[in-house]
Amino acid sequence: MGRLTGGDPSLLRRINSAVVLHALRAAAPSSPPTLTDLVKATGLSRPTVEGVVEGLIDSGLVAEASAEEGVARRQGRPARRFRFRAEAGHLLGVEIGPHRVAALLSDLSGRVTGSAAAEVTETASADERLERLRATVADLLRRADVPRGALRAVGVASPGIVEADGTVRLGTALPEWTGLPLGERLRRSFRCPVLVENDANAAAVAEHWKGAARGVDDVVFVLAGLSPGAGSLIGGRLHRGFGGAAGEIGALHLLGREATPEEVLSPTDEPLHPLDEAQVVRVFALAREGDERARAAVDRYLRRLVHDVAALVLALDPELVVVGGWAAGIGGVLDPLRTELARYCLRPPRVALSLLGDSAVATGALRLALDHVEGELFAVERPVTAR
């Protein structure tokens, strides 16, 4: 490891602190490191490590590991050992969807320690929806015995194009969503950093973190609902697009003045009304029972989905496509996707189902909150050695 010579002393302290925290987090829980271990792992001097560790203990982020915490006793005076206190703070990952709100609670390591969800009607106003979210979160925190002040960051994912400041630029899936200053509204409730993200983007992050895209850095996640949306990772990083609208492929059919989703999914001459998931599940069920017109409707739906996914694949050339969302749960989506992409894409990607299902969106929101906190606690900036 290199060393810093000179420069801002408070920056130096922060960097050293981050380096030590890194080493503490990387250690196996069964053998918490001693000061000597930390000196070795970080390349810092013993007095520096001692000072940093004392500071981290004062801030609550580090504790002395006791023998009960898996430390094998050796001969002689045992050296003090230290561990990262993942329980020193908490994070929330929140999904706000058309039919439900859901929240995941975790510690500072990202380990999920609680969850809650509540239904909400599709026609609920923005106020009603946010109130339902607040009640759900309050209940979750109460049950987990976590004070609101222990929250270090909250990630929120919802349909729509989200600006960098957390305002919903455009969101037709939820009533009163376009223009809603979602980040600002939620910051009032939480008094900690609130990160707002598009739902498909969050789900892409989630599948990369602990789902079907683990270890794969070029991924398109397709949130297959009535109209598909997508989130993409390029080189392991979320690709939001210039205005946060990347992946909104569901708008493509508008262009050809083609049939509306209501017409596409209708098993009769009349458009489906209302077009909601219950109706669509009924059409898929009819198709499975052999109803000819329902089958044709499902075929039309799948053809359009394949077309939209192919457009994403041709534009981005990902290694893997993960299909999630409501339509992925109905089944029968994967095979036509695989067959058609293999036939028509110049370099067909692998295609997999979401492993996280219903929890993908909230899990991604949680990961965004964790990214934020890790950025604050553990980020080690690289000093610039040349302009």
Binding site for a second copy (CB under 8 A): 1-7, 15, 18-19, 22, 42, 161, 169-170, 218, 230, 232, 234, 239-249, 251-252, 254-256, 303, 306-307, 310-312, 314-319, 340, 343-347, 349, 380, 382-387
The least CB distance from residue 23 to a second copy, in Å, is 9
Question: Which C-beta is closer to a second copy: that of 5 or that of 75?
Answer: 5
Question: Which C-beta is closer to a second copy: that of 30 or that of 385?
Answer: 385
The β-bridge partners of 106 are 91, 112
d(CA 235, CA 45): 36
Give burial (CB, 10 Å; 0-12/13-18/19+) of 325: buried
Question: Which C-beta is closer to a second copy: that of 14 or that of 100?
Answer: 14
The least CB distance from residue 76 to a second copy, in Å, is 31
Using the 8-state DSSP alphabet, how is residue 227 labeled?
A: S
Question: Which C-beta is closer to a second copy: that of 169 or that of 338?
Answer: 169
Question: Which C-beta is closer to a second copy: that of 278 or that of 384?
Answer: 384
Chain-centre distance for alpha carbon 262: 30
Question: Which C-beta is closer to a second copy: that of 85 or that of 240?
Answer: 240
The residue to which tokens 């929120």 are assigned: 156
The least CB distance from residue 9 to a second copy, in Å, is 15
Give burial (CB, 10 Å; 0-12/13-18/19+) of 197: buried
Question: Which C-beta is closer to a second copy: that of 164 or that of 380?
Answer: 380
d(CA 120, CA 173): 13
The least CB distance from residue 241 to a second copy, in Å, is 2
- Given a contact cutoff of 8 angstroms between Cβ atoms, the answer to whether 106 and 93 are in contact is yes
Handedness of CA 77, 82, 83, 87 (dihedral sign): positive
d(CA 193, CA 181): 15
The least CB distance from residue 250 to a second copy, in Å, is 8
Cβ contacts of 262-268, under 8 Å, gap ≥ 24: 264/297, 264/300, 264/301, 264/304, 265/226, 265/297, 265/300, 265/301, 266/297, 267/291, 267/293, 267/294, 267/296, 267/297, 268/293
Backbone phi, psi, residue 6, to 5°: 75, -165
Question: Which C-beta is closer to a second copy: that of 277 or that of 317?
Answer: 317
Collapsing DSSP states into helix, strand and coil, what is residue 96?
strand
The least CB distance from residue 160 to a second copy, in Å, is 9
The least CB distance from residue 258 to a second copy, in Å, is 10
- Given a contact cutoff of 8 angstroms between Cβ atoms, the answer to whether 305 and 294 are in contact is no
The least CB distance from residue 18 to a second copy, in Å, is 7
Respond yes or no on whether the N-terminal peptide bond of residue 147 is cis (omega within 30° of 0). Answer: no
In the structure encoding, which two tokens stand for residue 194, read together?
């609130």
Question: Which C-beta is closer to a second copy: that of 169 or that of 295?
Answer: 169
The least CB distance from residue 347 to a second copy, in Å, is 4
